[in-house]
Structure formats: structure tokens, C-alpha cells
Structure 1
Amino acid sequence: MNIIRDTSGQTSAELILLLAGVFIIVLLFMNIYQEYITSMGAEIKNNELNNLLDKIDDINNHIK
């Protein structure tokens, strides 16, 4: 009955299950906070664009 006591693959199987659990948690987190993350990205882009436009306006004002 060595098959019952053989635990040579147990560690790798436990590691695979642990990684799968972490992966599922990350997917759930991303699904729940998807709208927040996408809106935050748009807000960052808008802020960067506004800063760039302000700097261009400042340069135009200095040139005139």
C-alpha cells in the first residue's frame, strides 16, 4: 500500500492550488473594481492633458 503513503507530488499540487486561489482572488478584485480603475485612468489622462494644455498656453503667452 505504498500508493496511499506516497506524498512526493503533494507539495507541487498544493502550490498549484495556492497559486490558483491567488489568481482567482486577483480576478475577483479586478472585476469588482473595474469601473473604479477605468475611471481613475481617464481622470489621470484628463489631468495630464489639462496640464499640457496649460503649459502650451503659458508658452504662447510668453511669446506674444
Structure 2
Amino acid sequence: MDNKGQASAEFILLFGGIMVVVLLVIYMYNNYLGDLSGEIASKEVNDFNNELQLISKYFK
């Protein structure tokens, strides 16, 4: 029959499945980086506030 057409269709399905997995991984990694940057920013703000509090005692 038409074995070339079947092989092409299977290749397209395989490639599509791989693309779906790659897109899901990129989406999850993007969310991970967003959460991580929020934590880093929060830590930086807390460190900055702590330093300001330490310095503020010299201005009272």
C-alpha cells in the first residue's frame, strides 16, 4: 500500500509530540524562573531594608 505516507504521518505525529513536550517544559521553566526572581527580589529588598535600619541609628 502507501507505506511512505504512513511513515511521513508517523514522523509528523512524533515531531508534534516532541514539540508539545518542549513547549510544556519551556512553560514550566518560565514559571520557575518567575518564582525564583520574585524570591531573589524579595531577599534583596529585605537585605536593603536591614542595611537601612542599621545605618539609620547613626542619623538619630
What TM-score do you get using the length of structure 2 for normalisation?
0.54
What is the CA–CA distance in structure 2 between the aligned matches of 1:38 and 1:52, rounded to whole Å?
Answer: 21
Residue 54 in structure 1 maps to residue 46 in structure 2: yes
The runs of 4+ residues in structure 1 deviating greater than 4 Å are 24-28
What is the CA–CA distance in structure 1 between the aligned matches of 2:18 and 2:53, rounded to whole Å?
Answer: 48
Which structure is higher in helix share?
2
Instruction: Report the CA distance between 1:26 and its aligned residue.
Output: 6.4
Instruction: Report the CA distance between 1:48 and its aligned residue.
Output: 0.5
- Aligned-residue RMSD, C-alpha: 2.4
Query: Is the partner of 2:50 in helix, strand or coil?
Result: helix
- Structure 2 unaligned residues grouped into runs of 5+: 1-15
What TM-score do you get using the length of structure 1 for normalisation?
0.51
- Structure 1 unaligned residues grouped into runs of 5+: 1-23
What is the CA–CA distance in structure 2 between the aligned matches of 1:59 and 1:52, rounded to whole Å?
Answer: 11
